[in-house]
Each structure stands twice: as structure tokens, then as C-alpha cells.
Chain A
Amino acid sequence: MVAAMVGLLGCELAGELLRQAFHLPVPGAVVGMFLLAGTLVAVNRKRPPEAMAVPPALRRAADALIGHMGLLFVPAGVGVIAEADLLRQQWLPILAAVLGSTVLGLAVTGLVMSRVTRLVEKRRSAEAPRAVPHASLAGLCRKQARS
């Protein structure tokens, strides 16, 4: 537990130092997140990705922090009461932006992902028609059905 906390805080500290040294616009903890992710990938590069080894203490500490992450932003979230006037004056742009941009982001991500994946998989099956004849056939049928 102590070693895990040292690891997490050490990455955050390193991230913060890098941020200040190079005037990065990215928060130190986010830099630290990428330092740790990079380290984990580098250490595990000879293993299959499904069998990634993470020190058990680190995994336990991380699971505990992530599992209760909601609790951690309560203190900052309560800060909205200091902005009650702002919320009252600008409730319309705020509500519209939260609703609109969330649904737009959701739709665009889902649409691009499903269309590009379908395209790539269709091309892949077209390149190797003998390996997966059904997939390319299904793709053709779908194309005809749409046109």
C-alpha cells in the first residue's frame, strides 16, 4: 500500500515537475498518468496484452481510488454553491450546452466508430475473400440492400 502510494504520488510529482520544466499546458496528474501507462506498457512489452502484469499492491490501490473516484470530487463539486448567482443567470446556455454537446459527442463518436470499423472490416474481408467469404458476402448484400 505504501509502495503503491509512493508510486502514484511519484508519478504525479514527476508529471508536475515535467509540466513546470517544459511549461506544458496539461495538468501534472495527467502527465503522471501517461508516465505510468508508458512504464506499464514498456515493462510488459514481451507479454501478450491480455496478460499485462501490474504489481498487485499498485492494482489494489488503483482499484480503491478509481472505485471511489466519485467521492473525491465531492469537495470541489460543492463549490458550485459559491456560483449560485452564475447558475441562476446563465441556466439556459448551461443546460443547453450540457445536453446538446453531450448528445452530439455521443452520436459523433458512435457514428464514426461504427462506420469506419465497418468500412475497414469490409475492405479486410475483400482483400482476403477466400479466408472469410461470408463476411464479404454479407458486406455486399448490405451494400445492395442500402442502394
Chain B
Amino acid sequence: MSAVLHRLWIPPAAPLPWLAATLAAYLIGRAVQRRCGVAYASPVLIAIIVIAAVLVATGTPYATYFAGAWFIHFLLGPATVALAIPLARNLHHVRRSLPGTGLALLAGSATSIVSGVAIVWLLGGTRMVALSMAPKAATTPIAMAVSQEIGGLPALTAAFAILGGIVAAIAGERTLQQMRIDDRRSQGLAAGVAGSGIAAAQVAGRGELAAAFAALGIGFNGLLTALLVPLLALLWW
């Protein structure tokens, strides 16, 4: 029995256990989300916690796990490219309300980047944390790629991006209501820019216009973050 178990960790079978574990953890996360019925019981966060607990309990180094789960990670590239389709499909919304959408995207994207870095700095965080914080409002695959590019820690950025999305999903509606912003386009765009996929999923329940502007916010904030953060990193840090 132990010989059989041992052979599982030798190529070509080596990726199988952690590949299966990652898929299973994600399924658990989705089941929990369905049971709770809220968008911000993030299946990603739950899956990360489950896998992390298993790794700590079994004393498995992260590198061993990642070597197995690498195949899933690899699909982030094509998935990022695939975001082109919702982006292209919603492009005409920008053209129709160009000044507002363009200015709001620029202002929101710059605010997220600069305020994130500034708060880390003011409270005595390290450069590494500030660099990992800078791109966190972008959709997670772009945020991670940008973080890698500028010398941050992609894993940290992924965690920040997911937490930020949950914060935006929970606090977004109330914040905007208190500011008397009741326009669906503004609500959708704000959710997409600040909270990417997680907040967008929540705002999408408020109608197609909100969903379209949320998709727009995700796509263009991804673009702006990918352009602005490396530029700012070159200039400042």
C-alpha cells in the first residue's frame, strides 16, 4: 500500500494528487458559496484556505504543491487573452458615454494604485508589500502578471486582489448609495474597477447595463493598471 502511495509522487503521476486536490478544493468552495447564496463567499478564498491547511497539515512545501498544480496556473495566460471577448463586445458602451467612462476609468484606476501604495507606505509596510499592493484592483490574472513584472510577490497580489473584490462586493452598494450615486452605469463601472470579478458578479444582479459596465471596468482597469503600474514603478520606486 505504501509503495503504491509512494509511486504516486514519481513522474509521470506526480502532478495528479495536487491537481485533483486543487479541483476538489475549488468544488468545495463552490458548494459553500451555493449554500450561503452570496457572491462574496468567494470559492477561490475557500479553496486557497483548504489547500493551505492540507499543505500545512501534511508538511508539504509549497514548491512541491505548485509543481503539481502548475498546469492549472498555466491556463491563466489563455484565460487572460479570453477576456478580450467581453471587452470587445462592450467597447461600444465606452464610445457612447466616452467622457464620463474615460475619466472615471482613469481616476478610479489611478486612485486604487496610488492610495494602495500610499497607505502601505504610511503605515510602515515594506517595499515588497507596496509593490504587491499596487496592481491589486486589476482582475487577478492581470494583477499577478503585473506584480511579477515589477518585482512584487504574485501570490500576495492574488490574495490582495481577492480580498479587495470581497470588500468591494460587501461595501460597494452601501458606499455608492450613501454618496447618492444611483446610476446603473456608474455602479457597474465602479464595481468592475475596484472589485473586478467578485464585485462584478454581485453588481450583475442589478441588470444588464450594470453588468456591461462592470465588464468594461474590469477590462479597461486591467489595461490601465498594466500600463500605469509599470510606468509608475519605473518613475518612483
1/0 per residue, CB under 8 A from B, across A22-63: the answer is 000111111011111100110010000110101000110110
Cβ of A140 under 8 Å from chain B: no
Chain B nearest CB, measured from A109 CB (Å): 3
Chain A nearest CB, measured from B53 CB (Å): 9
Q: Is the CB of B175 within 8 A of A30?
A: no
Interface size bracket, A side: 35 or more
Interface size bracket, B side: 35 or more
Q: Is the CB of B99 within 8 A of A120?
A: yes
Contact (A30, B62) CB under 8 Å given A73-B44, A92-B123: no
1/0 per residue, CB under 8 A from A, across B172-213: the answer is 100110010101011101110111010000000000000000
Chain A nearest CB, measured from B105 CB (Å): 7
Q: Which label, helix, strand, loop or mixed, suits the secondary structure of the A interface?
A: helix
Most chain B CB within 10 A, of A5, A65, A78, A96, is at A78
Q: Which label, helix, strand, loop or mixed, suits the secondary structure of the B interface?
A: helix
Residues of chain B contacted by A97 (CB below 8 angstroms): 115-117, 119-120, 123, 125, 133, 160
Q: Is the CB of B226 within 8 A of A82?
A: no
Residues of chain B contacted by A50 (CB below 8 angstroms): 92
Cβ of B153 under 8 Å from chain A: yes
Residues of chain B contacted by A11 (CB below 8 angstroms): 81, 84
Q: Is the CB of A101 within 8 A of B181?
A: no
Q: Is the CB of B181 within 8 A of A114?
A: yes
Q: Is the CB of B137 within 8 A of A69?
A: no
Residues of chain B contacted by A40 (CB below 8 angstroms): 84-85, 88
Contact (A41, B22) CB under 8 Å given A29-B81, A94-B120: no
Residues of chain A contacted by B48 (CB below 8 angstroms): 74, 77-78, 80
Residues of chain A contacted by B121 (CB below 8 angstroms): 93
Cβ of A107 under 8 Å from chain B: yes
Cβ of A86 under 8 Å from chain B: yes
Chain B nearest CB, measured from A83 CB (Å): 6
Q: Which of B47, B172, B191, B223 contacts A34 (CB 8 A)?
A: B223
Q: For residues 157 through 173 of chain B, which have their beta carbon under 8 Å from a beta carbon of chain A?
A: 158-160, 162-164, 167-168, 171-172
1/0 per residue, CB under 8 A from A, across B109-139: the answer is 1011001110111111110110001001100
- Given A74-B69, A104-B115, A107-B176, 13 further pairs, Cβ under 8 A: A33-B80, A37-B87, A71-B47, A72-B73, A79-B155, A93-B124, A96-B119, A104-B111, A106-B168, A110-B190, A113-B103, A113-B190, A117-B99
A/B interface sample: 23 pairs, CB < 8 A: A26-B146, A27-B145, A61-B82, A65-B78, A69-B79, A70-B197, A74-B26, A76-B144, A96-B123, A97-B117, A97-B160, A98-B164, A106-B191, A106-B193, A106-B194, A106-B195, A107-B175, A109-B189, A110-B187, A110-B189, A113-B100, A113-B181, A116-B104
Task: Tell me the B residues contacting A by CB distance below 8 Å.
Answer: 22-23, 25-26, 29, 42-44, 47-48, 51-52, 55-56, 62, 65-66, 69-70, 72-73, 75-89, 91-92, 97, 99-101, 103-105, 107-109, 111-112, 115-117, 119-126, 128-129, 133, 136-137, 140-142, 144-146, 148-150, 153-156, 158-160, 162-164, 167-168, 171-172, 175-176, 179, 181, 183, 185-187, 189-191, 193-195, 197, 217, 219, 222-223, 226-227, 230-231, 233-234
